[in-house]
Amino acid sequence: MDYTARRRLLAVATVTAGTLVLSPVLVTPHEAPVPIRVSSAPVQLTDAWSDLVTDTLTSAYFLGQLAGGANPTYPLPNPIFIAPIAAQLVVNSLTYAVQLFTGQGSQIPTEIITHINNLANVATAIGKDVPPVVVKQIQNPFIAAKNAIDSITGSGNPLLGLLEAPAVFLDGVLNGQYGLIGFNGPVAVGFIIRNVVAQALFTAPPAGLPFKKPAAALKPNADAAKTVTLKVPAPSGTASSARSKPKAPANSSRQAAAAKSDSKGGGARSKRG
C-alpha cells in the first residue's frame, strides 16, 4: 500500500514538473513612463476679471484724452493741458496786449463781455446737470455690491461665483458709468468742467504777431510825416526865436523907399547949389 501510494505521488510530481518546464514563460513587457506635459498656453482669467482689466484700460484711455484736451467732445482751446484755465487767462492777457499794439483795442470789451456770458452759461449748466450726477456717483458703490452678490447667487458654480464676485464689485466701483474713473465719474466730471471753463475763456488770437509790423508799415509815408509833424508842438525856444525875427520883405521895402527919397533930396540940393 505504501509503495503504491508513493509511486502515484512520484508520478504526479513528475507530470507537474514536466508541465512547468514545457510551459512557455510569459514576460510582461516593460511599460515606458508617460511623459508629463506642461501646457504653454497662457493662463486664461475668468470672464469677470478679464472684463475688469479691459474696462480699466478703456477708462484710463478716456481720462487721458480728457486730461490732455484731445477729447473731441470736450477739447481744450490750447495745447497747455497743465492748469489750462490759468494758462488761458495768461494767453488772453497777451492777446489783449497785442490787440492794443495792433490797433484792435476796441474789440477787447466785447471779448470780455463774451467771456462773462459764456461763464454764466457754464455755471447754469453745472448747477442743472452736475447734482443728479453726484447723486448717482454716491449710489454707485451700493449698486456694485448688489451686482457682486447677484453674480454669486446667479452662478451655476458657487465656487466660480465667489472667485468672480470681487472683480464684479471692483469693475462697478471703478469703471461703471458713474464709477470712480467711469465716463460720468467724479474724475471725468472734474476734467469736463475744467475743459468747458477753459473753452468759455478762449479768445481768438489777432492776425498780427506781437511787436511786429507789416513790411508796408516800415516804409516812410510823406503825407503821414507831414501830418505828424504839424501835430507836434514846437519847443518854446524855437517858437520865440521864430516870433522875434523881423519880416524881411517889409523891412527891405522901407529901406529902399528911404534911400530913394534921400537920393532925390541930395540931387535937388546939388542942382540948387
Over residues 221-233, the pLDDT tens digits come to 333 333 332 233 3
Measured distance CA(249)–CA(260) in Å, rounded: 17
Cα(138)–Cα(192) distance, rounded to whole angstroms? Answer: 19
* Confidence bin at 242 (pLDDT 50/70/90): very low
Query: What is the mean predicted confidence (pLDDT) over 119-132?
Result: 95
Average pLDDT score over residue span 6-21: 52
Cα–Cα distance for residue pair 8/102, rounded to 1 Å: 141
pTM: 0.58
**CA-closest candidate to residue 129, choices 118, 141, 140, 137:** 137
Domains of the chain, by residue range, sit at: 84-204
Average of per-residue pLDDT values in the chain: 73
The mean pLDDT value for 216-245 works out to 34
Q: Residue 144: which pLDDT band, with cuts at 50, 70 and 90?
A: very high
What is the distance between the alpha carbons of residues 220 and 108, in angstroms, rounded to a whole number?
30
* pLDDT on residue 118: 94
Looking at residue 4, its pLDDT comes to 57
* Chain segment 255-270, per-residue pLDDT in tens: 444 444 444 444 444 4
* Mean pLDDT to the nearest integer, 239-268: 44
Given a cut of 60, is residue 192 above it in pLDDT? yes
Note the pLDDT tens digit of each residue in 50-78: 999 999 999 999 999 999 999 999 999 88
pLDDT at 33: 55
CB 137 within 8 A of CB 131: no
pLDDT of residue 183: 93
Asked if 87 and 212 count as a contact pair (C-beta separation under 8 A), the reply is no
pLDDT at 81: 87
Quote the CA–CA distance of 114 and 199 in Å, as a whole number: 12
Bigger pLDDT: 266 vs 170: 170
Statement: residue 92 has pLDDT above 70: yes
Q: Do 198 and 88 meet the contact criterion of CB atoms below 8 Å apart?
A: yes
Cβ distance 63 to 191 under 8 Å? yes
As a whole-number percent, the residues of the chain with pLDDT over 90 amount to 46
Of the listed ranges 67-81, 108-122, 207-221, 222-236, the one predicted with least confidence: 222-236
Question: Is the predicted pLDDT of residue 115 greater than 80, yes or no?
Answer: yes
